[in-house]
């Protein structure tokens, strides 16, 4: 089955630690996205990538970093510079073929700062 | 300013009581409007894409419609398993390319 996987499902971070969230897709999608979801707020875009080895900052990129070395993978690192990282993180992907296409989402990672 | 507004924030329905959820948008150059269902602690599940005013899509008890300013998700004779948060998103072309904005969702509870 094609889809998007995120790991881990739950992640706990201590103050001052960097942590990396994994996102893998086997849908052969070119574009991948990272969102943050907080209660009462819409999904907010952190970073996105339209192609391998290229990525762009979203609306709330400060304190986060990404890489896109492979088409299938788009890991997100939450650095110690992110002051309020406790949230639900969602990875998405979509095709960039002709027309305008929906995003498909992974199951999410819940990050909690201890 | 809000690009996408969903209403109501929360909706409680009796089983079988039909209703509609609203998604209004202010972006120009809409390229697509998307509806998702999200269960607690899970990622959004794609439901529909609408591209142009007048378009309608149906799936089981759900029907999505689109006008130039808003979209409606109609739920006919809902069942308890339809309880979830429903999100809408818009895609449009900005100076920086394709952009997506998500609404904050409508939390639907269907009571048996």
Which three-class secondary structure state does DSSP give residue A27?
coil
Q: Calculate how close chain B gets to A16, using CA atoms only, in Å.
A: 26
- Minimal C-alpha gap between A41 and chain B (Å): 5
Query: What average pLDDT does this structure show over A49-58?
Result: 94
Average of pLDDT values for A41-46? 91
- Residue that wins the pLDDT comparison between A96 and A30: A30
The stretch A50-75 carries a mean pLDDT of 96
Q: Quote the pLDDT of residue B25.
A: 94
- On whether the CB atoms of residues A103 and A94 are closer than 8 A, the answer is yes
- Cα A90 to Cα B89: distance, rounded to the nearest angstrom: 15
Residue B75 and residue B60 in contact, taking contact as beta carbons nearer than 8 Å? no
pLDDT of A38 reads: 94
B102/A43 CB distance under 8 A: yes
pLDDT of residue B2: 57
Q: Which residue has the higher pLDDT, A99 or A57?
A: A57
A102 and B32 in contact by Cβ < 8 A?
Answer: yes
User: How would you write the pLDDT of chain B (112 residues) with one tens digit per residue?
Assistant: 558 999 999 999 999 999 999 999 998 888 899 999 999 999 999 999 999 999 999 999 999 999 989 999 999 999 999 999 999 999 988 777 778 899 999 999 999 9
Q: Do A100 and B103 touch (CB under 8 A)?
A: no
Query: In this structure, are residues B4 and B90 in contact, taking their beta carbons and an 8 Å threshold?
Result: yes
């Amino acid at each position: 089955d094609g889809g998007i996987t995120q790991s881990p499902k739950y992640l706990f971070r201590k103050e001052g630690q960097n942590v990396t969230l994994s996102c893998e897709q086997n849908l052969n999608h070119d574009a991948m996205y990272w969102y943050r979801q907080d209660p009462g707020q819409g999904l907010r875009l952190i970073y996105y990538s339209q192609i391998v080895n290229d990525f762009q900052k979203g609306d709330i990129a400060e304190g986060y970093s990404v890489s896109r070395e492979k088409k299938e993978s788009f890991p997100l690192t939450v650095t110690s510079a992110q002051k309020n990282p406790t949230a639900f993180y969602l990875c998405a992907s979509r095709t960039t073929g002709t027309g305008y296409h929906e995003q498909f989402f992974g199951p999410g990672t819940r990050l909690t700062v201890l | 300013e809000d690009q996408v507004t969903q209403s109501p924030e929360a909706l409680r329905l009796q089983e079988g009581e039909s209703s509609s959820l609203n998604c209004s948008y202010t972006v120009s150059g809409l390229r697509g409007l998307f509806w998702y269902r999200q269960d607690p602690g899970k990622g959004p599940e794609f439901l529909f894409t609408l591209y142009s005013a007048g378009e309608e899509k149906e799936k089981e008890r759900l029907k999505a419609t689109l006008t130039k300013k808003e979209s409606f998700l109609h739920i006919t004779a809902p069942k308890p398993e339809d309880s979830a948060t429903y999100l809408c998103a818009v895609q449009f072309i900005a100076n920086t390319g394709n952009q997506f904005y998500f609404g904050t969702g409508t939390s639907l509870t269907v009571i048996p």
